[in-house]
Each structure stands twice: as structure tokens, then as C-alpha cells.
Amino acid sequence: MDKFILNLLDKSADFMAERPGFLPLLAIGFILINFLLQIVPGSGWIVESNLFLHFGLIIAIIGLLVVRALG
């Protein structure tokens, strides 16, 4: 199990080192999805809580920290 986790972390670090802007772009996508859901009537609690907006901001901050650490 430990080798699996270490292998997964190693592969994800290599992936992020090759594509440093992936997480911030993914975060922008979540923020745009949140904006588009604001337009759709009856979207429910996801729109009321701005779930995708908050999720996108957290991913963007983590992505910028990973870029600095791996860059």
C-alpha cells in the first residue's frame, strides 16, 4: 500500500511539473461553471452556496503553491 501511494505521488508530481498551469486552469473552469449555474434557474443549493466558486478558489491557491514548489 505504501508503494502505491508513493508511486501515485511521484506520478502526480511529474504530471504537475510538466504542466504547471493545469490546476489554475482547472480552477478557472470551476469558477466559470459557477457563473453559468447562476444564470440557470432552479439550480438549488449548489448555486446558493457557491460551491464551485469556493472549490475553484481552493484549487487555484493549491495550484499556485504547487507551481512554486515544483518549478
Q: Give 34-61 pLDDT, tens digit per residue.
A: 999 998 887 788 888 999 999 999 999 9
What's the pLDDT score for residue 71?
Answer: 66
In this prediction, residue 42 carries a pLDDT of: 79
- Residue 17: pLDDT above 90? no
Q: Which range marks the domain in which residue 34 is found?
A: 2-70
Domain count, the chain: 1
Cα–Cα distances (Å) from 2 to 9, 13, 16, in that order, read 11, 16, 21
Q: What is the value of pTM for the model shown?
A: 0.78
CB 16 within 8 A of CB 22: yes
Q: Quote the mean pLDDT of the chain.
A: 89
